[in-house]
Amino acid sequence: MFATVTRSQVLGFRVRAQQLDRDSTTLADVSVLDIGVQDTGPDGALWALAIRGLDVSAIAERDLVMLWTIRGAPHAYRRKDLPSIAAAVAPFSEADAGKRIFDASKPLKAAGISNLTALDVVAATMRSVVTEPTPKGEVSGQLSALLDPPYLRSCRPCNATHIYEMPFRLAALRAGLELQADTSPPVPQSFGRVKAAAKPSPRHDTIRAYLRLLGPATPKQVADYLDAPVKDVTARWPDDVVEVSVVGEQRWLLADDADGVAAGVAKTTRLLGPYDLFLQTKDRPLLVGDPARAKALWPVLGRPGAVLVDGEVAGMWRPRKSGKSLKVLVELWTRPSAALRKAIAAQAELLAAHRHVALSAVAYDA
């Protein structure tokens, strides 16, 4: 018989594991950088680090590296961790590589090209093309001229033929490419000679990192996060785990974290960015049980940020920038106390300072 863990204990554990209850920390200690911090939108990776207590203004440009990794999204990591990260985010197997590159796998298979071979071919071609910082569109155009038909697709919106998107993104790290900071569209550039480690450190192992930061979890939840087959995740499931029951579902937690999950509620208020790791969990109904609220928080396009209050998603927020000023629009799902309004205002001030603008107002949806 395994222990029962309450929903509030799970959320409290995640708040503390992701250090959302901290006022200060160091670059070396920020736990979310172990699994990667997604950098999507203006309130991306650096904002995620700032609300975890890191003084991002003190980070040297070379301290972080931006890479296309998990789910093909741009993620920030410590540059010194590159060899371990490169090993950690590589596909587990041929089947895993096929799942991660989605529809690109079918024409490759028809041509007798394995998915892993294809990633290596694209990487070698990218390496020959990107000899200096080059905008993504230009890289794609050159690759399309150099690669054989199985690597290419006809794109109706672009009215052109170009390389499939996911092999392009997932081969970039294999090619030794990072994304130049603060560029949109992205500008890939070489990060120099860095050889992937034979295997990742336990700290960067993606399965262990998910359990440590978003546990307790099931193999399917981890597989969904990585876009990997459940079979591959199950085959690599850690031995040092304990079974727990979360709202009637069997899940697993790293044994070293068993005491931490029993600690309960973590007191904190944060304005989470739309793609913050806390919101990337693959058990969304546990985080937000109301279907209408969940639909509003995770729309197909145009995600809002989330207001985190003591482990609970208490509402949503959106920024409205006008010139040198910023208004924060807040929609709470319960009536806020004066103390909560004060805490949200403090977070809004931090956001404005982070964006180097003045806060004009915090407006609540009536």
pLDDT in tens, 71-127: 999 999 999 999 999 999 999 999 999 999 999 999 999 999 999 999 999 999 999
Percent of the chain with pLDDT over 90: 90
Task: Indicate if the pLDDT at residue 51 is higher than 60.
Answer: yes
Task: Indicate if 29 and 131 belong to the same structural domain.
Answer: yes
* C-beta neighbour count of 294 within 10 angstroms: 15
Distance in angstroms (rounded) separating the CA atoms of residues 288 and 301: 18
Q: Which residue, 190, 224, 243, sits at the end of a domain? A: 190
Query: pTM here?
Result: 0.96
* Residue 199 belongs to some domain of the structure: no
Question: What mean pLDDT is predicted for residues 5-30?
Answer: 96
Task: Indicate if 7 and 128 belong to the same structural domain.
Answer: yes
Task: Indicate if 167 and 57 belong to the same structural domain.
Answer: yes
Question: What mean pLDDT is predicted for residues 261-289?
Answer: 94
Confidence grade of residue 1 (pLDDT, cut at 50, 70, 90): very low
Question: What mean pLDDT is predicted for residues 137-163?
Answer: 90
Task: Indicate if 15 and 164 belong to the same structural domain.
Answer: yes
- Which domain covers residue 352, as residue numbers? 269-364
Confidence grade of residue 157 (pLDDT, cut at 50, 70, 90): confident
Q: Which residue, 155, 190, 225, sits at the end of a domain? A: 190
Residue 260, both tokens? 């931490």
Instruction: Tell me how many domains the chain contains.
Output: 2
Average pLDDT over all residues of the chain: 95
Confidence grade of residue 366 (pLDDT, cut at 50, 70, 90): low
Task: Indicate if 176 and 292 belong to the same structural domain.
Answer: no
Task: Indicate if 180 and 274 belong to the same structural domain.
Answer: no
Identify which of 306, 233, 239 has the alpha carbon closest to the alpha carbon of residue 273: 306
Residue-wise pLDDT tens digits, 175-202: 999 999 889 999 999 998 778 888 999 9
Question: In the prediction, which pLDDT does 333 show?
Answer: 96
Q: Which residue, 190, 215, 247, sits at the end of a domain? A: 190
Task: Indicate if 273 and 186 belong to the same structural domain.
Answer: no
Task: Indicate if 25 and 121 belong to the same structural domain.
Answer: yes
Residue-wise pLDDT tens digits, 56-69: 999 988 999 999 99
* Residue 278 belongs to some domain of the structure: yes
Residue-wise pLDDT tens digits, 105-117: 999 999 999 999 9
Task: Indicate if 178 and 284 belong to the same structural domain.
Answer: no
* Residue 285 belongs to some domain of the structure: yes
Question: In the prediction, which pLDDT does 41 show?
Answer: 92
Task: Indicate if the pLDDT at residue 26 is higher than 60.
Answer: yes
Distance in angstroms (rounded) separating the CA atoms of residues 42 and 32: 18
Residue-wise pLDDT tens digits, 210-240: 999 999 999 999 999 999 999 999 999 999 9
Question: What mean pLDDT is predicted for residues 259-280?
Answer: 92
Q: Tell me, letter by letter, the H, E, C secondary structure of the chain.
A: CCEEECHHHHHHHHHHHCCCCCCCCCHHHCHHHHCCEECCCCCCHHHHHHCCCCCHHHCCHHHEEEEECHHHCEEEEEHHHHHHHHHHCCCCCHHHHHHHCHHHHHHHHHCCCCHHHHHHHHHHHHHHHCCCCCCHHHHHHHHHHHCCHHHEEEECCCCEEEECHHHHHHHHHHCCEEECCCCCCCCEEECCCCCCCCCCCCCCCHHHHHHHHHCCECHHHHHHHHCCCHHHHHHCCCCCEEEEEECCEEEEEEHHHCCHHHCCCCCCEEEECCCCHHHCCCCHHHHCCCHHHHHHHCCCCCCCEEEEECCEEEEEEEEEEECCEEEEEEEECCCCCHHHHHHHHHHHHHHHHHCCCEEEEEEECC
* Residue 304 belongs to some domain of the structure: yes
